[in-house]
Amino acid sequence: MIHDILRKLEVENSEGKSYSQMFLTNEDLLPVPREKQTWKHRNFIAFWIADSFNVNTWMIASSMIQAGLSWWQAWICVWIGYGVVAPFIVLNARPGAIFHITFPVVARTSFGLYGSLWCTFNRGAMACVWYGVQASIGGTCVFVMLRAMWPSINDIPNGLPDSAGITTKEMLAFFLFWFISLPAIWFPVHQIRHLFTLKAIITPIAGLVFFVWCIVKAKGVGPIIRQPGTMHGTDLGWGMVMNLMSCISNMATLLTNAPDFASRAHTPSAALYPQLFSVPLTFSIVSFIGIIVSSSSQAIYGEAIWSPIDLLNMFLDDHPSHGTRFGVWFIAFAFVIAQTNLNRTNISANSVSAGCDLTSLVPRFINIRRGGYIAAIVGYCILPWKLLASSNGFVSYLSAYSVFLSSIAGVMVTEYYFIRKGHYRMKDLYDTRRDGWYWYTYGINFRAYAAYIAGILINVVGFAGATGRTVPIAATRIYEMSFFTGFGTSMIIYLLLNWAFPVPGGMGQKVAFEEVDLSEDEWDGSSAAQNEVGKARADRDNQSFIKDNDDF
């Protein structure tokens, strides 16, 4: 009976697979077939327009100004931060765009068939936490929408105890946001590009309306534009470094799992130039709008309101007109879409990432769709509003988390560009043969783990300082640049270990860089997985005849 129940719980699998093949493969782990490689240039542009318009990005410059930078110094940090991180996203996305495999499978090339599981668990667990946190923020957007439509909702009595950490009306809004996000998880990754296209149309319009509305209401751009910075000399230099690093850390999640979406690229160039230029441009524009709106709010209310949701709530005070209520509803609606569709929000970096990662952990029973729903359930069960209530500890933890991700990314980028030099053996990614490229030592690459741990250790002392301990200033400076120190250290250590302990097909063979699959041309057909991977390889080879201008 138990066996029958387990069979019913299994995802669709091809017959004839061994247990090891069932552990390494399912439909969502195999190379993406040609008909699902639908993300073109315009889709990646829409993705980043959609990704940039969210509460986090809106407020990112505010923390810099509150720390003592002038508005233009903060904006320079935004430009530099996102401009620096964009090439890293493109670099790590490249294997996905070329071989059409997701992050968990790309991680196998460097960490090993089984060693990659820790990386994917690490990323998947955090995606579940972020799902809940962003759903909580999305709930506040829904509450503003409801209040704009029915002002009396603000008078709903609270029936929850203080220990709940949330009121009845807030719980209602949170549940509504959580519930309306569920249908989007159902759609396959190659289809949700339409969600980003929709959002790329609605959210810029809403942002422009908010921008103009606040300037008109304040009769100017407000005093923050004329406010000088309070940092000078060395403090200013390190203050700008630390703040631009916050932009980079803010993107560490999407940088790591960049292959997930790049695997759906119609052509490799679709995942290259749109991301390289869209990331700094879109995030800088949204940050500028946030600066001007907050500056205008100081002229209107006598204090700078950095959260757009708090500002919209204030617009609804004192019996607003019907026009004001509609305007607030429309802008709040745009933020709801924003929180549903974005990075660090609930479709791209959270439900999709969790789905891809959890799929690799239990491929026999979990696919991307099921993994996304697991993320939604876990995100609800962790009571995310309580995590946000203790914001200092939570923010410190999230900042430290970028250290773990940058070390993973450092190993992955080094593996692809310097160790293997673009050469893959796709067959070995789904096979536990002892002579396979990615078997290493019992399925684990000790070189990758040594480099990964080294990238973390160099930042440990500085992290202790961030939690309130007394540490040397040098350790603090290293931690303030944690992305680069973690990425760079893991990269150097991984290169040295591969030089000392070369791997089959590694840099010791001194081959030229060439993005090619070196799997045998003749497949023995011993398993359905081999046949499926072989078909995916044929689909990919046919791409060489597709011109890039087909993307438009």
Other C-beta atoms closer than 10 Å to the C-beta of 533 total 23
**Residues forming a β-bridge with 517:** 424
In one-letter notation, the amino acid at residue 126 is M
The answer to whether the CB of 251 falls within 8 A of the CB of 24 is: no
Q: Three-state SS for 516?
A: strand
* Confidence at residue 195, expressed as pLDDT on a 0 to 100 scale: 66
Per-residue buried b or exposed e for 52-77, using 16+ beta carbons within 10 Å of the residue's own CB: bbbbbbbbbbbebbebbbbbebbbbb
C-alpha span between 444 and 58 (Å, rounded): 41
Per-residue buried b or exposed e for 189-218, using 16+ beta carbons within 10 Å of the residue's own CB: bbebbebbbebbebbbebbeebbebbbeeb
> What global pTM score does this model have?
0.83
The answer to whether the CB of 438 falls within 8 A of the CB of 109 is: yes
Closest listed residue to residue 33, CA positions, set 263, 366, 193, 351: 263
* Confidence at residue 537, expressed as pLDDT on a 0 to 100 scale: 53
Q: How far is CA 336 from CA 177, 213, 262, in A?
A: 8, 19, 25
The answer to whether the CB of 528 falls within 8 A of the CB of 20 is: no
The mean pLDDT values, 10 residues at a time, for the chain of 552 residues are 60 58 75 88 87 80 83 92 95 95 92 91 78 84 93 88 86 89 69 66 89 90 82 87 84 85 91 94 91 87 86 90 93 82 44 59 70 81 76 57 86 95 92 90 95 94 82 89 92 96 79 84 45 53 44 42
C-alpha span between 5 and 167 (Å, rounded): 40
C-alpha span between 348 and 127 (Å, rounded): 10
Conformation bin of residue 205: beta by default, left when phi > 0, alpha when psi is -120 to 50: alpha
The answer to whether the CB of 486 falls within 8 A of the CB of 455 is: yes
* Confidence at residue 41, expressed as pLDDT on a 0 to 100 scale: 92
Q: Burial level of 125, CB count in 10 A (0-12/13-18/19+)?
A: middle
* Confidence at residue 95, expressed as pLDDT on a 0 to 100 scale: 95
Count how many residues are written for the chain: 552
Helix (H) or strand (E) holding 299: helix 273-301
Concatenated DSSP letters for 358-425?
Answer: HHHHSTTT--HHHHHHHHHHHHHHT-HHHHHHTHHHHHHHHHHHHHHHHHHHHHHHHIIIIISTTEE-
The answer to whether the CB of 439 falls within 8 A of the CB of 471 is: no
Q: How far is CA 12 from CA 241, 363, 373, in A?
A: 49, 10, 17
**Residues forming a β-bridge with 38:** none
* Confidence at residue 408, expressed as pLDDT on a 0 to 100 scale: 93
C-alpha span between 528 and 531 (Å, rounded): 5
**Six-digit token pair at 92?**
């790590």
Closest listed residue to residue 410, CA positions, set 355, 362, 367, 451: 451
